[in-house]
Amino acid sequence: MRTGIATVCLSGTLKEKMQACAIAGFDGIEIFEQDLVTSPLSPEDVRKMAADLGLGLDLYQPFRDFDSVSEDILQENLRRADAKFKLMSRLGMDTILVCTNVGTATIDDDSLRAEQLSRLAELAGNHGVKVAYEALAWGKYVNDYEHAHRLVDTVDHPNLGTCLDSFHILSRDWDTAPIEAIKPEKIFFVQVADAPKLSMDVLSWSRHYRVFPGEGQFELAKFMGHVARAGYSGPVSLEVFNDVFRQSDVERTAVDAMRSLIWLEEQSAKWLDAKAASLAAEGVSGDSPANAAGRRRYPMELATLPKVAEPAGFNFAEVKTDEPAQLETLLGQLGFEFDGRHRTKDVQLWSMGHARVIINEQAPSHSEPAIAALGFDVDSPVIASARAQQLKAPVVPRKVQADEEVFQGIAAPDSTEIFLCQGSPDGTAAWTSEFRQTHEFGEGLEHPIAGAQAVIDHVNLAQPWQHFDEAVLFYTSALALEPQPFAEVPSPSGLVRSQVMVTSNRAVRLVLNLAPMLQQEPGQKGNGARKSYQEHIAFAVDDLVATARRRRHGGSTSSGYRPTTTRTWMRGSPWILPSWPPSRN
Amino acid sequence: MRTGIATVCLSGTLKEKMQACAIAGFDGIEIFEQDLVTSPLSPEDVRKMAADLGLGLDLYQPFRDFDSVSEDILQENLRRADAKFKLMSRLGMDTILVCTNVGTATIDDDSLRAEQLSRLAELAGNHGVKVAYEALAWGKYVNDYEHAHRLVDTVDHPNLGTCLDSFHILSRDWDTAPIEAIKPEKIFFVQVADAPKLSMDVLSWSRHYRVFPGEGQFELAKFMGHVARAGYSGPVSLEVFNDVFRQSDVERTAVDAMRSLIWLEEQSAKWLDAKAASLAAEGVSGDSPANAAGRRRYPMELATLPKVAEPAGFNFAEVKTDEPAQLETLLGQLGFEFDGRHRTKDVQLWSMGHARVIINEQAPSHSEPAIAALGFDVDSPVIASARAQQLKAPVVPRKVQADEEVFQGIAAPDSTEIFLCQGSPDGTAAWTSEFRQTHEFGEGLEHPIAGAQAVIDHVNLAQPWQHFDEAVLFYTSALALEPQPFAEVPSPSGLVRSQVMVTSNRAVRLVLNLAPMLQQEPGQKGNGARKSYQEHIAFAVDDLVATARRRRHGGSTSSGYRPTTTRTWMRGSPWILPSWPPSRN
């Protein structure tokens, strides 16, 4: 699949945007006119820079309000088009996006529109330019891709084709199956965007709330499947207007965008396989019209990724603190056992049953305790890591000694380190043998509950605002967690945007929460949201009442942790919540 | 471009090979029959594993000695083919490689061969299998791809097509231009391999000396350009028999292989652009027959990479040692100035003009001094790093303080760290301000030569045997150095395989040397070759005689470095050679 992105998706200057696209690995870009106008680069500079960066200049956009006008306005529009075509020649570009008229259309007559589009195509042909005609969801007379394509068909000019934009199609709930009937040589361009299902006017929805594929709720794999079955093999390009992305770090957003296309490619291939299987089951040939000539593959080559099964459970949670004594006390009171210090690293291990907590003492002084890392049980850490890396997840560099388990670590968007651990049938973890009971810590604590069983029940992570959507896609694509419908939960300090991510058996539940007032400056490192928002790790225990009693008796206000109910809160730091019943034993 | 690799290229079990291919990011693989036979996996296991890993099973190979035989042998061959086709159905595979007959051919008659291939195609069709017929360079009667394709054309069966293998074509010096005349639907598969130009029998050459594209001397971009102009858009798959690769770490070889295809893709796109430009200059339409229908792109989508210009020069060299005193003495005697210690890292900087040497004191005790890192001046470190990462170069993790220059570092195959540094017009380096003269070191040394000019002239690196070819491709593709014809240089301990890599103005010259007896075990970390082989850094100075005299007067046998001529050798460690004249000032 040829990957692309519109410069309008990103923040910064045109030069910065182009560099970020090259770094993220896009094949091509759409030049958004405003980005060119505000750039000090000449069209020739842009052309050379794109060539040097290995980026195709795949689409010039947008050309607005052309058709359905009176003859005098049409003459002006053709002069305007002529100027754009000359500019495109300087850029070395050959495809322009023309949207259906929103502002100046006065005549609702398809035969007039066809005639006007035909004149545009003829002019474009003289300049070697191809016009990709797109139905805007709020176009005055033409707002449906099938209508727009009927006009393209009527004109039947080699320089006029259709542009399909998933947002304009799916936001209106148009049926996508008829895409398969479009001749592939008449599809000039495909744009994709996802969006949360919101009830608002479609223009505002489009301009502010589009997200990258996998971050919203549109059926994009199906849309792309129909496009592939039509025989299209050109660029698939992101056009996402989003207020957050345009304020965020450009390189990072470009990588998030690229991840979304890689993921969409895989999902589209899966949809196609399922479609072929269901057609075969019905006894129908799986070949779409474009695929009837005995080709075993669709013209659009869809890359796949190493598959991972959803994680079987949490392997461990790691909390970083510069005051380990408080956490030691709390864990001891909860009935956790001190398993010792690591042979070579400055960390302690505490466990109750299969609930394992690592205390990392290397936090900077006076920092709040924070959840620094989560381990997940997977079938093959190496394959899972390969998949994550192909999805552009940053690898966590980690020093290991020769005889230690090599953890495959990747960084989540909020900088939590995610470790892919070898799961075991009995829920044990081989790496715990790297910890040694030194009796230096853990003395004087109450004796742990003998044979107490517990697991990590769920984890709640505070997300910085600019990486919330990215985090949903990250956990979906790299870790095979399933996003649940998102919610807005009332809290004492306002609505909290909350996204639950789970495995199908709910053995892993991860809650991503965004408190709107806890904003972090773009470019700020780390997760500032943690400073003022409660994260928590919840444990499922065998006997909640016994655990709670124990906690109450051992409770000491000097530790700074005040038990309220059976929920144990730690203000501005991970709070630890015994819950019930255990989801795994 | 759909990327593939034959399992025969790699070491290990079929399972290990498949995992390594998935990790490296290949789209598909060729199953080499022997790998399947020796695997404990059932065909169904292999099919499922490939699906899970996201790998297409693109070609079953090889089926040998089918055609040009008497009728009784043909009957046997058809029975053999029938069994393979049934096996392929269990694997879910649909394409098989059939090579021209080498061993059992007795009848040289094209009409008989066509009839026999037609019967094979008919049988294959009944099983839904496609036969890709390949001319082996040493085929008894058919050893030329045009001959093989004439047979395919004669038979004209939908289940019979051509397989093009660059080795079999280029090793015989067949003209590749006629590839463009082959109908794209008749090209069933394309295999690529590179090779050094050796004068030996072609079978031995093929079985032992194939290398990945970019590591040999074949004109592969031209070969691929013709294939793309023919309109082919199927898999491009590596089939490389090489004694070294089959003994090396499988994951690492797979990444090296993937890098070679990414590089080949870029080179092929360049060749196509140059071809189109030269046709345009001749006034000929640039369209090949397959491209005549007004498509602006070839059906095979060739990805490009961010381009980098060749480096302008060396920025610095870093030597790691646990006995810095010796190196300090030597550098002082040569007229280098001690510029101080780094603010936060345990390193010193010494310089003479623009020749900068960093002494890193963090070597393990009793290790030999070694060249640990090289800095190169590039236009844009960020873009150069993006290119290197897209070429699968491992990133060097590096901790920096907020106010320090962020170096873009990648690891060369021999584990030397390569830093991409911001070049400056006057040859200075901004990062040197991070070093502070402490007077703790450098005192008591002779006063440096005032205003002495010097640059790093060239660097010689010892290469471990199993990464020599990989290193050539690495420096070619990631750093835009140009390999010179390789040489075998006599040394006191035998022939040294030597590969010089240069920039066009020779401002950067890097010599990769492999001494055959200095073998390193596969899996051994680091560069064992360094233990017993001299690497060196050569400096170009203004006044060689003055520098040499100075060196002689300051020479102290207690330093352990004994000057021989003006060349200063350090046994088993980097030796430092003042040379002349300066290639850059």
Show Cβ contacts of residue B202 under 8 Å, excluding neighbours closer than 6 positions. B137, B138, B171, B172
CA distance A299 to chain B (A): 8
Question: Taking CB atoms and an 8 Å limit, are B233 and A301 in contact across chains?
Answer: yes
Say yes or no: B304 contacts chain A, CB-CB below 8 A.
Answer: yes
Say yes or no: B396 contacts chain A, CB-CB below 8 A.
Answer: no
Question: Taking CB atoms and an 8 Å limit, are A27 and B304 in contact across chains?
Answer: yes
- Report the alpha-carbon distance of residue B506 to residue B484 in Å, rounded: 11
Question: Taking CB atoms and an 8 Å limit, are B19 and A383 in contact across chains?
Answer: yes
Question: Taking CB atoms and an 8 Å limit, are B306 and A23 in contact across chains?
Answer: yes
Across the range A305-332, mean pLDDT stands at 91
Statement: residue A504 has pLDDT above 50: yes
Statement: residue A212 has pLDDT above 90: yes
pLDDT at res. B550: 66
Find the length of chain B.
Answer: 585
Question: Taking CB atoms and an 8 Å limit, are A390 and B25 in contact across chains?
Answer: yes
Judge whether A108 and A68 are in contact, CB under 8 Å: yes
pLDDT at res. B494: 66
Of B19, B296, B380, the CB nearest to A382: B19
- Report the alpha-carbon distance of residue A210 to residue A192 in Å, rounded: 10
Judge whether A329 and A261 are in contact, CB under 8 Å: no
- Among the listed residues B126, B56, B68, B60, the one whose alpha carbon sits nearest the alpha carbon of residue B100: B68
Say yes or no: A289 contacts chain B, CB-CB below 8 A.
Answer: no
Say yes or no: B52 contacts chain A, CB-CB below 8 A.
Answer: yes
Extract the tokens encoding A136. Answer: 């805007």
Q: Within the 129-158 window of chain A, which residues sit less than 8 Å (CB to CB) from chain B?
A: 130, 158
Say yes or no: A524 contacts chain B, CB-CB below 8 A.
Answer: no
Say yes or no: B562 contacts chain A, CB-CB below 8 A.
Answer: no
H/E segment holding residue B313 = strand B313-320
Judge whether B184 and B215 are in contact, CB under 8 Å: no
Give which of B383, B389, B391 to mutate to test A binding, by max A Cβ within 10 Å: B383
Question: Taking CB atoms and an 8 Å limit, are A383 and B22 in contact across chains?
Answer: yes
Give the chain A residue whose CA is nearest to the CA of B94: A296
Say yes or no: A307 contacts chain B, CB-CB below 8 A.
Answer: yes
Of A22, A293, A305, the CB nearest to B54: A305
What ipTM did this prediction achieve? 0.74
Across the range A59-67, mean pLDDT stands at 96
Question: Taking CB atoms and an 8 Å limit, are B53 and A158 in contact across chains?
Answer: no
Say yes or no: A344 contacts chain B, CB-CB below 8 A.
Answer: no
Question: Taking CB atoms and an 8 Å limit, are A54 and B397 in contact across chains?
Answer: no
Cβ-Cβ contacts under 8 Å, A296 against chain B: 94, 130
For A2-52, what is each residue's pLDDT tens digit? 999 999 999 889 999 999 999 999 999 999 999 999 999 999 999 999 999
Question: Taking CB atoms and an 8 Å limit, are B51 and A307 in contact across chains?
Answer: yes
Say yes or no: B299 contacts chain A, CB-CB below 8 A.
Answer: yes
B502: amino acid identity, one letter: V
Q: State in Å, rounded, how far the first CA of chain B is from the last one.
A: 44
Helices A43-53 and A71-91: angle between axes, nearest 10 degrees: 50
Question: Taking CB atoms and an 8 Å limit, are A299 and B22 in contact across chains?
Answer: no
Say yes or no: B277 contacts chain A, CB-CB below 8 A.
Answer: no
Q: How many CA atoms lie within 13 A of A490 on its CB side?
A: 0
- Report the alpha-carbon distance of residue A507 to residue A309 in Å, rounded: 13
Judge whether A304 and B54 are in contact, CB under 8 Å: yes
Extract the tokens encoding B222. Answer: 């031209």
Give which of A2, A19, A21, A23 to mutate to test B binding, by max B Cβ within 10 Å: A23
Considering only A477-486, A497-506, A507-516, B96-105, which range has the smallest mean pLDDT? A507-516
Cβ-Cβ contacts under 8 Å, B397 against chain A: 397
Say yes or no: A399 contacts chain B, CB-CB below 8 A.
Answer: no
Cis-peptide into B369, omega within 30 deg: no
- Report the alpha-carbon distance of residue A507 to residue A349 in Å, rounded: 22
- Report the alpha-carbon distance of residue A223 to residue A231 in Å, rounded: 13
- Among the listed residues B153, B189, B191, the one whose alpha carbon sits nearest the alpha carbon of residue B170: B191
Across the range A108-126, mean pLDDT stands at 97
Pairing of β A494-502 and β A482-483:
antiparallel
pLDDT at res. B577: 54
Within 10 Å of residue A438's Cβ, how many Cβ atoms?
12
For B447-470, what is each residue's pLDDT tens digit? 555 566 788 999 999 888 888 899
CA distance B390 to chain A (A): 7
Of B53, B299, B304, the CB nearest to A54: B304
Give which of A236, A383, A396 to mutate to test B binding, by max B Cβ within 10 Å: A383
Extract the tokens encoding A555. Answer: 């409770």
Instruction: Give the residue ranges of chain B where pLDDT is below 50.
Output: 288-296, 441-446, 517-526, 529-531, 555-573, 579-585
CA distance B555 to chain A (A): 41
CA distance A303 to chain B (A): 6
pLDDT at res. A283: 74
B43: amino acid identity, one letter: P
Which DSSP string do the residues of A51-79 spell out, in sequence order?
HHHT-EEEEEEEE-S-SS--HHHHHHHHH
Of B54, B294, B301, the CB nearest to A2: B301
* CA-CA-CA-CA torsion sign (B164, B168, B169, B170): positive
Task: Count CB pairs under 8 A between chains A and B.
Answer: 76
CA distance B13 to chain A (A): 16
Instruction: Give SS3 for B76.
Output: helix
* CA-CA-CA-CA torsion sign (A329, A332, A336, A342): positive
Extract the tokens encoding B423. Answer: 């070049």
Within 10 Å of residue A138's Cβ, how many Cβ atoms?
15
Statement: residue A489 has pLDDT above 80: no
* CA B99 to chain CA mean position, Å: 28
CA distance B94 to chain A (A): 9
Band of pLDDT at residue A111, cut at 50, 70 and 90: very high
- Report the alpha-carbon distance of residue B404 to residue B60 in Å, rounded: 54
CA distance B552 to chain A (A): 44
For A471-486, what is each residue's pLDDT tens digit? 999 999 999 999 998 7
- Report the alpha-carbon distance of residue A216 to residue A105 in Å, rounded: 32
Q: Pick the residue with more confidence: B564 or A169?
A: A169
pLDDT at res. B13: 92
Statement: residue A166 has pLDDT above 60: yes
CA dihedral in degrees (A41, A43, A44, A46; nearest 10)? Answer: 60
Mean pLDDT of chain A: 84
- Per DSSP (E only), the strands in A264-334 are 313-320
Q: State in Å, rounded, how far the first CA of chain A is from the last one.
A: 44
Judge whether A453 and A585 are in contact, CB under 8 Å: yes
- Among the listed residues B434, B442, B262, B236, the one whose alpha carbon sits nearest the alpha carbon of residue B350: B442
- Report the alpha-carbon distance of residue B585 to residue A74 in Å, rounded: 62
Question: Taking CB atoms and an 8 Å limit, are B304 and A52 in contact across chains?
Answer: no
pLDDT at res. A482: 94
Cβ-Cβ contacts under 8 Å, A381 against chain B: none
Give which of A301, A378, A392, A406 to mutate to test B binding, by max B Cβ within 10 Å: A301
Of B53, B294, B383, the CB nearest to A306: B53
Phi first, then psi, for residue A284 (nearest 5°) are -95, 145
Question: Taking CB atoms and an 8 Å limit, are B27 and A296 in contact across chains?
Answer: no
Helices A381-390 and A468-479: angle between axes, nearest 10 degrees: 140
pLDDT at res. A231: 92
Say yes or no: B390 contacts chain A, CB-CB below 8 A.
Answer: yes
Say yes or no: B301 contacts chain A, CB-CB below 8 A.
Answer: yes
pLDDT at res. B453: 78
For A358-415, what is each residue's pLDDT tens digit? 999 888 777 778 899 999 999 999 899 999 999 999 888 776 666 677 788 999 998 8
